[in-house]
Amino acid sequence: MKIAYTKRLAQLSIILGSPLLFFGCLEEPEPQAPLYTPKALESQGRGITIAHSTPYNCKILGEVEGRDYVSGRRNPTRDKLQESARNELKNEAGEVAGENRRIMLRITKEETKCMVLFKNGIKQEITCKEPVIIGKDNIVGGALLSHSVKADVFDCGEK
């Protein structure tokens, strides 16, 4: 008796469940935002180095800035955002300096912006020095927004 009941229940589940699975598969999936990819390092940016102090025997040419925004793309990471902003920084510096020059950059400012959501429903843009920790300081959500980097450009002679 128990086996017949279990068998009947399994048949009923298949009969009722099959159309749900079939029609569920016909529905178009929700469109997803494109994946985040860092900006590419262009030819004029290749070979440019970043120094942690003022380079010796080099002439300052000015200041450049590189930045990138998440802009609705998915799966950004702090490292990818930083890489992208630094690639743009080097690309800009290469344009400023011209060809066949040894260029060095000294970073003067670098920051990552995040959006946090608090328990009370308020959203706030912050400079995030470390990863946003859910649960700390009444934060219930967070997302990366952008990364920017500024640097002095130095011409250190011909290549």
pLDDT in tens, 29-65: 677 889 999 999 999 999 999 988 888 899 999 999 9
In a domain, 152, yes or no: yes
Residue 100 lies in a domain: yes
CB 105 within 8 A of CB 152: yes
How many alpha carbons lie under 13 Å from residue 73 in its C-beta half-sphere? Answer: 16
Tell me how far apart the alpha carbons of residues 51 and 43 are, in angstroms, rounded to a whole number. Answer: 20
Q: Could you tell me if residue 71 is inside a domain?
A: yes
Answer yes or no: is pLDDT of 82 > 90.
Answer: yes
Residue 40 lies in a domain: yes
Whether residue 28 is contained in a domain is answered as no
Question: Is residue 123, in this structure, part of any structural domain at all?
Answer: yes
Enclosing domain of residue 66: 33-158
Q: Which two tokens stand for residue 10?
A: 């399994």
Please report the sign of the dihedral spanned by the C-alpha atoms of residue 5, residue 6, residue 7, residue 12: positive
Give the total number of structural domains in the chain: 1
> Rounded to whole angstroms, how far apart are CA atoms 54 and 90?
17
Q: Which has the minimum average pLDDT: 39-53, 66-80, 108-122, 135-149?
A: 135-149
Give the model's confidence band at 68: pLDDT under 50 very low, under 70 low, under 90 confident, else very high: very high
Angle CA 8–13–15, to nearest 5: 95
H or E element in which residue 158 lies: strand 139-158
Contacts 24+ apart (CB under 8 A), 125-133: 131/78
The answer to whether residue 50 is domain-embedded is yes
pTM, two decimal places: 0.75
